Structure 1
Amino acid sequence: MSAIPADLCSLEDYQHRAQTLLPADIWAYISGASMDGFTQQRNRSQLDTLLLQQRILVDGLGQGDCRTELFGQTLTLPLLIAPLAYQKLAHPMGELASVQAAAAQGVGFCLSTLASSTLEEVAQIAPDTARWFQLYCQPDPDDTLNLIRRAEAAGYRALVVTADAPINGVRNAEQRSGFRLPDTVAAVNLQGLPKPEAGDSVFACWMQQAPNWNTLAEIIRQTHLPVILKGVMHPADAQQAVELGVQGIIVSNHGGRVLDSQPSTIEVLPAIRRSVPAEIPVLLDSGIRRGSDIFKALASGADAVLLGRSVFYALAVAGPFGVAHILRILRDELEATMALCGCARLADIKSSSLYLPLSASI
C-alpha cells in the first residue's frame, strides 16, 4: 500500500480525487444517476438517518472478527465488489485489477456481463473464492444460455441475474456530457451478438425482448449454479423468486441509475428480509460508503453488501492498490463499529444495535 497517498483515508477521499483525474464524460457516466438523482441521494440520506447504539464494557471482544460464509465460501468480511460495467474506463487493467484486489482482501467479486475483460480472463487470475457472474438476459435465449455455459466452464460459483434494468435509466448527466464508449473499451463478452432491434418507443424497442418470470425459471432450470436475483425492491417479488428456486436475493435499485424516485434499499430491506425464509441470503447494494453502513445493513437484515461506484473511483486513483485499500478501509471501519457497539461476531449484530428513540418504541 506504499503507493497510496497519506491523505486518502476514506472512500469519499477517493471520490474527490477521482473527479480531478477522470474526463468529464467518463465522470458523468460513473457518478451519474437517473433523471434528478433522487433515488441516488436517498440511498445515502436514509443510511445516514440510522443511528448506532454504542455498548460499553462488553466481554469477549478480543476474540472478535467479521468473517462470514456465503454459499459455502468464506469471506474476510461480508462484502463483494458489485458487477460494474466497463471498468477499463477507469484503469487499463479494468476488472483484472478489481478481482486481484478482492482476492488480496478476501472479499467476493461479481463480474458484469458488460465487463471490458472476458469472463475467462478474469477467472484465470481469480482465486477459488466467491467468484460470481452477473447475467443480463439477451434477446435470444441461446445467447443467454451460452453466457451461462461459459461462466460454468470458467469456474464461477454463482449466477447473479439482474432484473431491474430491462432498459437504461434516463441519465441526463451522461446525455449532457456526450458520453460515448471509447474505441478501447467494449462489452467483450457480448462481441458478435446482434444489437437490439430498433423501435419508435420504449415498449416497441426494449420491452418486447425483456425477460420475465418464465425467463428466470428457465435459467434456474438450465444451470447447476446457485441463482441470485438482483434488483429486488418489493417483498412480493422476493417471495415469487424464492418460490421459483432462487437461492439468494440482492436488494438493489441499481444505485439510482435506472428508476428515479424509488425508496432507498435500506428502507425496503427489513420487509424483504421478513418475506423470505431465513436460510435464503439477502444482500444489499446502493449507497455503501462506510464500514458503519455495512453494520447498519446487517442490523437491518442483510447478510452481506456489495460495493459499486467507489471501486471505479479507487481504480481511477490508484488501480488495484486503490481498490485493495478501500476494501481494507471498509474492513477496519466495520471492525471498529462492531467493537464499539459490543459485537464480537456478525451474528451479534441485531436490530437492537441501532438506536431507536424512546418515542418510536412506545
Structure 2
Amino acid sequence: MREAERGARAVLDPVHFDYLAGGAGEERTLTDNEEAFARRRVVPRVLRGPGGTDLTTDLCGVRLAAPVVVAPTAFHRLAHPDGEAATARGVRAAGGLLTVSTMSTVAVEDVAATGATTWFQLYVQPDRAFTAALVARAEAAGCRALVLTVDSPVRGRHARDARHGFTDLPAGLVCENLRDADGRVRDLVVDPDLGWDAVAWLRATTTLPVLVKGVLHPADARLAVEHGVDGVVVSNHGGRQLDGAVSSLDALPGVVAAVDGRVPVLLDGGVRRGVDVLVALATGADAVMVGRPVLWGLAQGGADGVRSVLTELVDELAHAMALVGAHRPRDLTPDLVTVP
C-alpha cells in the first residue's frame, strides 16, 4: 500500500492529496493508527490440518466475501473525475461493500446504481427533517445499513488544509447528498448537542440496521449496545478529529470486552496490509474498514485501481491466515498476537 500512496501523491494536486492524507493537529493519532499495527507481532500455529481458507463473513444481514468494508471517506472526485461512482464499481468488482459518505461528491442514488452493495454514513444534523429525508434517500437507493458517525461534535483542526488555505471544494464539485428538495446544496451542520437519544430517533426513523462509528471508550460501547445499535465501529476518524486520541487498535480490546459478543465490532483506522486485517480480527474485530488505501487506488486507476487495492488486501489476508494455521476468520484468536 505504500507504493499505492506514493503513486497517488504523484498524480494528485498536492492540496488535494494533503486533504485526503492528512490528519488533525500534529498528526500523532494518524501516525499511531499505523504504528499500533507495527507494534504487534503474530505468533503462528502449525500443523493445523487441511481445510483451505474461507473468508466469507456475515455482517448486519450482508454476506461478504471477506471481512473488509470500505470506510466512508469524503470528496472522492478530488481523487478521480468519476468519484464515488468509480469507487463503487471497483468495490463491486472486488465483491466488497462500500460505505457511502454523507460528504460524497456523487449522489447516493448514483453510487448505488452501480450495483455495489452499500451502507450509508450519516451525520445527524440539527435539522432533523432534512436528516430524515436523507435517510429516506439512502433507504430508497438500496443501502443496507446506516453508519452513524458520533465522534464529531466539532470539526477537527487540519494543519495541512490551513497551510494550503483549502476550505472549499473546487468549482463544479459539491456534496450531492446535501441537496434539499429544492435542489439547493446545504452546508453540513455538525450538531454539538447530539446525545444518545439520537439513536432512538434514528431507530424510529428507519428500519435499517444502525451502527455507530467513532467509539473508543468501553463505557460508550456498553451504552451503544444498551441503546439498541446493531454494530459498533472502533474509530478515531482516521486521526482527523482529536490529535492525541488512542489508536483504534489499542482501543479495540476494551470495546470488544464491553460489547461481549452482543453486536459486531468493526475496526477503522490504520489498516494497510492483509496481516493488519489478521491482527484486528485476532484482537476481536468482526471486520475492518479501509479508507485511504482505496482513495490511493482510485487516484491512480479509477475503478480498476480500487479493485486492485481491495483484491491485494484480501489476497494478503488469505495468505497470512494460511501461514498462521487459520482456515476461517473465527479461527483468529488473541493468542496469535503479541506485543514484544
TM-score by length of 1: 0.89
For residue 170 of structure 2, what is the amino acid of its counterpart? P
Matched, 1:108 2:97: yes
Superposition deviation, residue 57 in structure 1: 2.7
Distance in 1, matches of 2:56 and 2:258, equals 26
Matched, 1:125 2:111: no
Superposition deviation, residue 195 in structure 1: 3.9
In structure 1, the residue matched to 2:139 is 152
Q: Confirm or deny: 8 A CA contact 2:86 2:303 kept in the other structure.
A: yes
Q: Confirm or deny: 8 A CA contact 2:27 2:239 kept in the other structure.
A: yes
**Structure 2 counterpart of 1:40, from 30, 43, 49:** 30
Superposition deviation, residue 184 in structure 1: 2.2
Unaligned runs of 5+ in 1: 1-10, 198-205, 358-362
Distance in 1, matches of 2:164 and 2:2, equals 23
What are the residue-to-residue correspondences of 1:66-105 with 2, within 5 Å?
Answer: 66-105=55-94
Distance in 2, matches of 1:277 and 1:49, equals 25
Q: Confirm or deny: 8 A CA contact 2:212 2:231 kept in the other structure.
A: yes
Superposition deviation, residue 55 in structure 1: 2.4
Size of the alignment, in residue pairs? 335
Q: Secondary structure of 2:120's match? A: strand
Superposition deviation, residue 347 in structure 1: 1.0
Distance in 2, matches of 1:277 and 1:57, equals 30
Q: Confirm or deny: 8 A CA contact 2:174 2:185 kept in the other structure.
A: no
Superposition deviation, residue 196 in structure 1: 6.8
In structure 2, the residue matched to 1:187 is 175
Q: Confirm or deny: 8 A CA contact 1:163 1:230 kept in the other structure.
A: yes
**Structure 2 counterpart of 1:58, from 48, 52, 58:** 48
Matched, 1:15 2:5: yes
- Identical columns (%): 40
Superposition deviation, residue 54 in structure 1: 1.9
Distance in 1, matches of 2:260 and 2:252, equals 14
Q: What do residues 275-323 of structure 1 show as CA deviations (whole Å, max 9, x unaligned)? A: 1141300001110000000000001110000111111111111111111
Superposition deviation, residue 52 in structure 1: 0.4
Q: Confirm or deny: 8 A CA contact 1:33 1:40 kept in the other structure.
A: yes
For residue 174 of structure 2, what is the amino acid of its counterpart? A
Q: Secondary structure of 1:125's match? A: coil
Distance in 1, matches of 2:61 and 2:194, equals 29
Q: Confirm or deny: 8 A CA contact 2:120 2:146 kept in the other structure.
A: yes
Structure 2 CA distance for partners of 1:335 and 1:171, relative to 1, 3 Å: same
Q: Confirm or deny: 8 A CA contact 1:139 1:196 kept in the other structure.
A: no
Superposition deviation, residue 66 in structure 1: 1.3
Superposition deviation, residue 17 in structure 1: 0.9
Distance in 2, matches of 1:290 and 1:73, equals 23
Q: Secondary structure of 1:13's match? A: helix
In structure 1, the residue matched to 2:279 is 296
Distance in 2, matches of 1:17 and 1:37, equals 21
What are the residue-to-residue correspondences of 1:132-211 with 2, within 5 Å?
Answer: 132-179=119-166, 180-191=168-179, 192=184, 194-195=186-187, 209-211=192-194
Matched, 1:26 2:16: yes
Superposition deviation, residue 71 in structure 1: 1.7
Distance in 1, matches of 2:80 and 2:153, equals 28
Q: Confirm or deny: 8 A CA contact 2:178 2:188 kept in the other structure.
A: no
Superposition deviation, residue 166 in structure 1: 2.5
Matched, 1:242 2:215: no
Q: What do residues 319-345 of structure 1 show as CA deviations (whole Å, max 9, x unaligned)? A: 111110010110111011100000011
Distance in 1, matches of 2:112 and 2:3, equals 31
In structure 2, the residue matched to 1:343 is 326
Q: What do residues 28-68 of structure 1 show as CA deviations (whole Å, max 9, x unaligned)? A: 1011110000101111111111100122332114x222111
For residue 152 of structure 2, what is the amino acid of its counterpart? A
In structure 2, the residue matched to 1:260 is 243
Structure 2 CA distance for partners of 1:99 and 1:297, relative to 1, 3 Å: same
Distance in 2, matches of 1:33 and 1:145, equals 30
RMSD over equivalenced CA pairs, Å: 1.5
Distance in 2, matches of 1:184 and 1:338, equals 45
Distance in 1, matches of 2:139 and 2:222, equals 26
In structure 1, the residue matched to 2:292 is 309
Distance in 1, matches of 2:274 and 2:323, equals 13
Q: Which has the larger radius of gyration?
A: 1
In structure 1, the residue matched to 2:205 is 222
Distance in 1, matches of 2:54 and 2:206, equals 34
Distance in 2, matches of 1:18 and 1:103, equals 21
Structure 2 CA distance for partners of 1:143 and 1:45, relative to 1, 3 Å: same
Distance in 2, matches of 1:193 and 1:242, equals 34
The runs of at least 4 consecutive aligned structure 1 residues that moved more than 6 Å come to none
Superposition deviation, residue 182 in structure 1: 0.4
Q: Confirm or deny: 8 A CA contact 2:178 2:187 kept in the other structure.
A: no
Q: Confirm or deny: 8 A CA contact 1:24 1:177 kept in the other structure.
A: no
In structure 2, the residue matched to 1:330 is 313
